[in-house]
Structure 1
Amino acid sequence: MGEGGILTIAHTPDADDAFMFYGIVAGAVEIRGFRGVRHVIEDIETLNRWLVEEGRDVDASAVSAHAYAYIVDRYFLLRTGASMGEGYGPVVVSKSESVRLEGSRIAVPGRYTTAGLILTIALRGRFTPVYARFDEIPAMVEDGRVDAGLLIHEEQIAYSRRGLTVVLDLWDWWARVTGGLPMPLGVDVFSRRLGRGAAEAFRDALRLSIEYAYQHFDEALDYAMRYSRVKDRELVARFIKMYVNERTMDMGDDGVEAHRTLYRLARESGVLKKAVELRRDDIV
């Protein structure tokens, strides 16, 4: 059990995460076996580094699907809480349609982000990554500090307002290579230290929290808007509906297969130094 019966949940301030956890935050959903929760809110790459590089043991956390490859022995992968693209996903933008990506400087929102991993696989590593916070990347492209930028979160649907153009849609590449599997991006994980039963209790509560958020959509959107860097309510609502959906309730067997495919491609490309085999016991 978490310290003193309190479960520590780390997640991002991004609109989809904030929306997902609204039912728990509002006190409408309790987590079986725990008397309370403590929310820790940080950007996704900070959470990735905490778990991968610093070895922190957070009870439950949002992480990039890429980051999970390095912590599979310490954390369960939850079927609930995943952000997956279907028909859309992260995009690479530039000021010019004619920019050549191979050999260019591309702003990437973190070493452990899944978008960054997929871009590396797609371009066979033939570019120079410039790591930056995701919300700083559009301005870096605008002022010429980089040739192109990889956009995630709300920025991936707000770029046109800055006059930027898509030069690579990662969904198109992923769908072609995988035969149309959903694209893994973010996941929620749960510490194996607390046991499978506690992980199941958290998973079930998260499902109820998502249901509650959709049942109280305007209230949950108000809460998500407190954190969103984009202040256009209609755009944020659109982003939430893109990434909090039936896949988020349960990624499905093809969602699990999509993660296996991601890790296989990463291993074949040399990004992962050892194979990651997702076993049935790894998934809750």
Structure 2
Amino acid sequence: MLKIRLGHSPDSDDAFMFWGLASGEVKTDYDFEHILRDIQTLNEWAMEGKLESTAISVHAFAHVSDKYALLRHGGSFGDEYGPMIVAKRALSPEELRETVIAIPGKMTSAFLALNLYFEDQFGAGVRPKTEVVPFDEIIPAIQEGKYEAGLIIHEGQLTYEREGMTLIADMGRWWKAKTGLPLPLGVNVVRKDLGDGAVKEVSRCMRESIHAGLSNRGKALDYALQFARGMDTPTSDEFVGMYVNERTLDMGDEGIRAIRLFLQKGTEAGIVPPVQVDVVD
């Protein structure tokens, strides 16, 4: 029995996506071990090829495409929503340009989007001033006055207002207006050295696990709620719906175009190396 260490973040959307595998709803001869870590850690581990299959940021994929094949299933896209710059008060563009922004990691897609946004707003070569802070500590750090602004991901996108934050810019909304495409954020990958057979089996299991969750929404959501970090059921359901949907089941041609363009823009900005985006069917 081939053991597949499967990395994903301890978030309700990822948990929903992997419920089919975790519950045994998806049948396979492979032994899947679920490894839960934050996305920054998974990105770093992917650099080493540590796990057989893992969720990673689209940004990180540009650095590990030699080791990992990209799956059509499990992609997270923000369609007119995505990572947000928030602060306790409104900031002028001039203030934002000079403000140190707390970010969830330099290999995250949120960070790449932030850099592309700054180039678009302030000119080629202009970079944001940033410091890395664990994603769930960004809003508390702003509330405590440690940072003027932060780049938030995950459920913070739904709860920032009730925590006293003001929206400065939404990266997903900006990207959609700029390109007409959804903002690619996360993908699932499988290590190429497992061989074609294993790659295809992991791809099948991933697809069927997402399909199982979408087809058994109540059960999958109940499982996902244990990873909801205090969100109530309606908010968790809304969050899951944002990032687990038909595009997650299969990113389609539009999703592939969005990933290619996002990484191409990153290459043109000198942030990521050139990468050939090939997707496993």
Q: TM-score, normalised by structure 1?
A: 0.92
The C-alpha deviation readout for 1:84-141, integer Å capped at 9, x for no partner, is: 0112111111111135211111010111100111101111343211101111111111
Q: Which residue of structure 2 lines up, in the alignment, with residue 64 of structure 1?
A: 57
1:259 is the counterpart of 2:259: yes
Q: Which residue of structure 1 lines up, in the alignment, with residue 3 of structure 2?
A: 6
SS in structure 1 of the partner of residue 259 of structure 2 = helix
What RMSD over aligned residues (CA atoms) do the two structures have, in Å? Answer: 1.4
Worse overlay, 119-128 or 180-189: 119-128
> 1:211 deviation in Å?
2.0
Contact map agreement 1:82 1:188 (CA 8 A) in 2: yes
Q: Distance in 1 between matches of 2:189 and 2:163?
A: 35
SS in structure 2 of the partner of residue 93 of structure 1 = strand
Q: Distance in 1 between matches of 2:221 and 2:193?
A: 33
Q: Distance in 2 between matches of 1:270 and 1:82?
A: 24
Worse overlay, 120-129 or 99-108: 120-129
Q: How does 1:32-181 map to 2 (within 5 A)?
A: 34-52=29-47, 55-99=48-92, 100-124=95-119, 125-178=126-179, 180-181=180-181
SS in structure 1 of the partner of residue 218 of structure 2 = helix
Q: Which residue of structure 2 lines up, in the alignment, with residue 205 of structure 1?
A: 205
> 1:201 deviation in Å?
1.7
Q: Distance in 1 between matches of 2:42 and 2:77?
A: 18
> 1:35 deviation in Å?
3.4
Question: Which of 3, 6, 23 is the aligned partner of 1:26?
Answer: 23
Contact map agreement 1:154 1:230 (CA 8 A) in 2: no
Q: Distance in 1 between matches of 2:230 and 2:11?
A: 10
SS in structure 1 of the partner of residue 162 of structure 2 = helix
Contact map agreement 1:103 1:126 (CA 8 A) in 2: no
Q: Distance in 2 between matches of 1:98 and 1:267?
A: 29
Q: TM-score, normalised by structure 2?
A: 0.93
Contact map agreement 2:155 2:239 (CA 8 A) in 1: yes
Q: Distance in 2 between matches of 1:158 and 1:227?
A: 16
The C-alpha deviation readout for 1:21-54, integer Å capped at 9, x for no partner, is: 00110011023xx3321111111110001112xx
> 1:207 deviation in Å?
1.9
How many residue pairs get aligned? The number is 273
Worse overlay, 14-23 or 116-125: 116-125
Amino acid at match of 2:207: R
Identity, % of aligned positions: 39
Contact map agreement 2:75 2:251 (CA 8 A) in 1: yes
Amino acid at match of 1:223: Y
